[in-house]
A and B are shown apart, each in its own frame.
Chain A
Amino acid sequence: MRLFTFQRAANVDEAVASGAGAAFLAGGTNLVDLMKIEVLNPERVLDVSRLDLAKIELREGALQIGALASNTAVAEHAEVLRAAPGLSEALLSGASPQLRNGATVGGNLLQRTRCAYYRDLGTRCNKREPGSGCDAMEGWTRMHAVLGVSDNCIAAHPSDMCVALYALEAMVRVRGPAGERDIPIGELHLLPGDHPEREFSLRPAELITGVRVPIDALAARSRYVKVRDRQSYAFALASCAAAVQVEGGAIRAARFALGGVGTKPWRVPEAERSMQGRPPTRETFARAAEIALRGAAPRRDNAFKVELAKRTAVRALMLSAGAPS
């Protein structure tokens, strides 16, 4: 790890005021890891882990989750379990108990890809070194994305939590030099396009202070299904957060987001609309999954993900709808 200057922010205002050019450090499970392997080399690290942002509460029809709430705290919170079980399931499917104790919601929102080439300084990576090329393209791509890819980057988004938050249409609250604003979670993460090094829509010195998850009948039905190479403690090959609300034998509303297959968590409004008014059957869900995977661009080792993602989506949707699978 390279040397850096360490500072501690006493409050959010101070963090924002001195945040330009610094890396905000919370739980450290992602940032410290990447600093150790010298993929990220901030010259100044601003410790925000002691800020008063760890509260989780149900208020104004939404779960208000502080950015510093640990993944464990969110996953085990009674209101989360009741009002958005899919979020809890997603969190508990990720990492290990030790990592979930350290990892925060804010950090998880900004989690960096696990692309092996991004993490290996001996290879070319457009995300790590803009314009240097991408060794993943002709490399081992089993863990890479098939959706949202560009000629410059095929790195998969690693977070489980974010997939659930996409399906739940969460809002991300940030504070910056220009004040506070809310970012729909779908707009927080950027597609790689020509600039894979630009990963987030955050402006300089903006600090994530919390997440707002609207709570309704749909959120209460949310579920998360994750498929991976081993049963526990592994990143997703494909995952799906789904929420289906059925009334009188027909789907009233349905949302789903896919993980492990996109360069960001993947949601397709057209696929969701295709389910409306239809019976909650395998056929309905399979059609929606088909639409969601349109445009998939697999490479040598990850073509299986297209079918796997469809089946994972169907399973999650069936589970949420309470349909026999």
Chain B
Amino acid sequence: MELPNRPCLLAFCAKEPRFQEAFRAELRALGAPLFAFAPGSGTVFGADDEPRDIGAQPELWRIYGAGGAALTVVLLDEKQRIRLRREAPEAEGTLLAAIREAGRAVRAAPRGIGRRELLVNSLAVALGAAVLQACASARPAGVRKAVSGAPPLIDVSLVVNGQPRKLHVEPRLVLLDALRENLGLTGAKKGCDMGQCGACTVIVDGQRVNSCLKLVAQLEGANVTTIEGLVQGGQLHPMQEAFLREDAFQCGYCTPGQILSAIALLQEGKPKDDDEIRERMSGNLCRCGAYPNIVAAIRDVAGRA
């Protein structure tokens, strides 16, 4: 089957989706066709046309590695390049929320931006957000099939911020991406993505590590603490309060990593002076240069301990 030379959405649903009138109205407003597939059937929802039957298209399931999740959604641009591919544990709500949000963004956009690029970008952002939301609130999915020819997916159980979480993932997934993309915990930041900046620092089994260099596959049973897990009973962690009090950040991007690193630092041992704090915080870079106040915040908490 030929796909059109303009942005389009492919949705592969494990079960036949029930597309309601609201859904089609959103699609019309958006102006991108949706190719919706379920096992044994396929329907294209054009921007203006009535839904059209296009058959099951098993080849497309194979090409886009669909079938592993309740929903696999693929966003193609006008050159049929994959701009986004996401899996979600729930189909209809996720898709509807994403298309509605993308439609809003497209309608609200200023003039002068190429409509196709805008459409693709809006869809990508909205889909990403909706899928993330669906994943965060989902129950763990059952056993899934892998993309044919690709190595099998693996099951990993973790405890993240006190909550047991199950993942069914590619072996190459690193903890940072699992937290951000699969679990919706975007507090750990992707800076260099190569273990040099420390923005992705989280605490695994009591030790601070660079989550960008840790394969999730290795973490069966691990206990992970991220910045989202520091608040206790509505109270900020003392280190969070100290960072606020001492104005220990500017843009804030490195801050979650700084705070987790600082908490681990104090657990490892009380620093004797500022030089020791600086040396032991050397794995967390701050491009804004908030170092003096970061040191002050840590000194402050260390002094109260």
- Interface residues of A, Cβ cutoff 8 Å to B: 1-6, 25, 28-29, 32-33, 35-37, 45, 47, 49, 72, 95-99, 101-102, 232-233
**A69–B279 CA distance with the chains assembled, in angstroms:** 22
Which chain A residue lies CB-closest to B281? Answer: A97
B170, B215, B264, B279: the one contacting A32 at CB < 8 Å is B215
B195 in the interface, Cβ–Cβ < 8 Å?
Answer: yes
Asked whether B171 is an interface residue with its Cβ less than 8 Å from the other chain, the reply is yes
Q: Is the CB of A232 within 8 A of B282?
A: yes
Contact with A along B118-140 (1 / 0, CB 8 A): 00000000000000000000000
Q: Contact between B218 and A97 (Cβ–Cβ < 8 Å)?
A: no
- Determine if A99 and B261 form an interchain contact, defined as CB atoms under 8 angstroms apart: no
Proximity bits, B151-173, A CB within 8 Å = 1, else 0:
11010000000000000001110
B218/A47 in contact, CB under 8 A: yes
CA distance A29 to B175 in the complex (A): 13
Pick from B195, B217, B265: contact of A99, CB below 8 A: B195
- Complex Cα distance, B151 from A232, in Å, reads 40
B182 part of interface (Cβ distance < 8 Å): no
A95 touches B283 (CB 8 A): yes
Contact A98 B209 (CB under 8 A): yes
Given contacts A45-B171, A97-B280, contact A37 B215 (CB under 8 A): no
The answer to whether A96 and B213 touch across the interface, beta carbons within 8 angstroms, is no
> Once bound together, how far apart are the Cα atoms of A98 and B176, in whole Å?
14
The answer to whether residues A5 and B171 also contact, given A47-B217, A98-B209, A102-B210 and a CB cut-off of 8 A, is yes
Against A, the Cβ 8 Å flags (1 = close, 0 = not) of B260-304 are 010011001000000000111011100000000000000000000
Residues in A neighbouring B201, C-beta threshold 8 A: 98
Known: A97-B283, A102-B213. 10 other contacts (CB 8 A): A1-B172, A2-B172, A33-B195, A96-B198, A96-B284, A98-B208, A98-B283, A101-B208, A102-B210, A232-B278
Given known A-B contacts A3-B172, A97-B261, A102-B209, A29 and B215 have beta carbons under 8 A apart: no
Residues of A contacting B154 in the complex (Cβ-Cβ under 8 angstroms)? 6
User: How far, in angstroms, from A98 to B152 measured CA to CA in the complex?
Assistant: 30
Q: Once the chains bind, are A4 and B172 in contact (CB under 8 Å)? A: yes
Residue contacts A-B, CB under 8 angstroms, 24 given: A3-B151, A4-B171, A4-B172, A6-B151, A6-B171, A6-B215, A32-B174, A35-B172, A47-B217, A49-B218, A96-B284, A97-B282, A98-B195, A98-B201, A98-B208, A98-B261, A99-B210, A99-B283, A101-B207, A101-B208, A101-B209, A102-B210, A102-B214, A233-B283
Q: Kindly state the separation between the CA atoms of A3 and B150 in the bound complex, as whole angstroms.
A: 7
Bound form: Cα–Cα A182–B264 in Å? 37
B194 within 8 A of A: yes
Instruction: Determine if A36 and B193 form an interchain contact, defined as CB atoms under 8 angstroms apart.
Output: yes
Q: Which 9 A-B pairs have the closest CB atoms?
A: A96-B283, A6-B171, A232-B282, A233-B282, A5-B151, A101-B207, A1-B172, A98-B283, A32-B213
In Å, the complex CA distance between A52 and B198 comes to: 29
Distance in angstroms between the alpha carbons of A2 and B151 in the assembled complex: 11
Nearest A residue to B221, CB-CB = A50
A232 contacts B172, C-beta separation under 8 Å: no
User: What's the least CB distance linking B172 to chain A, in Å?
Assistant: 5
Complex contacts, A98 vs chain B, CB 8 Å: 195, 198, 201, 208-210, 261, 283
Categorize the interface residue count of chain B: 20 to 34
The interface residues of chain A lying within 8 Å CB-to-CB of B150 are 3
Given the complex of chains A and B, what is the CA–CA distance between A28 and B217 in angstroms?
A: 11
Q: Are A232 and B195 in contact (CB under 8 A)?
A: no
CA distance A2 to B264 in the complex (A): 33
CB under 8 Å from chain A, chain B span 208-229: 208-210, 213-215, 217-218
Choice from A36, A47, A72, A232 contacting B194 with Cβ under 8 Å: A36
Instruction: Please indicate the chain B residues that have their CB under 8 angstroms from the CB of A95 in the complex.
Output: 283
How far, in Å, is A155 (CB) from chain B's closest CB? Answer: 18
| In contact, B283 and A28 (Cβ under 8 angstroms) | no
Closest to B170 in A: A3
- How far apart sit A47 and B214, CA to CA, in the bound complex (Å)? 12
B214 touches A32 (CB 8 A): yes
Q: Determine the distance from Cα of A197 to Cα of B126 in the docked complex, in whole angstroms.
A: 46
Name which residue of chain B comes closest to A45, CB basis. Answer: B171
Report the bound CA distance from A203 to B198 in whole Å.
35
B208–A232 contact, CB under 8 A? no
A25 touches B208 (CB 8 A): no
Nearest Cβ on chain A to B199's Cβ, whole angstroms: 11
With both chains docked as a complex, state the minimum distance between the C-beta of B270 and any C-beta of chain A, in angstroms.
15
A residues less than 8 Å from B264 (CB atoms): 97
Residues of B close to A96: CB separation below 8 A: 198, 282-284
**Would you give the shortest CB distance from B68 to chain A, in whole angstroms?**
14
Q: How far is the CA of A4 from the CA of B154 in the complex (A)?
A: 12
- Chain B residues contacting A4 (CB-CB under 8 Å) are 151, 171-172
B197 to chain A, nearest CB (A): 10
CA of A180 to CA of B220, assembled, Å: 30
- With A25-B218, A232-B278 known as contacts, the answer to whether A97 contacts B213 (CB < 8 A) is no
Q: How far is the CA of A233 from the CA of B195 in the complex (A)?
A: 12
Report the minimal beta-carbon distance from A35 to chain B, rounded to whole angstroms: 8
Contact check, B218 vs A28: say whether CB atoms are below 8 A apart.
yes
Within the complex, the shortest CB–CB distance from B155 to chain A, in Å, comes to 11
Known A6-B217, A29-B195, A33-B194; contact A97-B151, beta-carbon cutoff 8 A: no
Does A37 contact B209, Cβ atoms closer than 8 Å? no
The residue in chain B whose Cβ has the minimal distance to the Cβ of A2 is: B172
In the complex, what distance in Å separates the CA atom of A102 from the CA atom of B219? Answer: 12
Given A96-B282, A101-B208, A28 and B215 touching (CB < 8 A)? yes
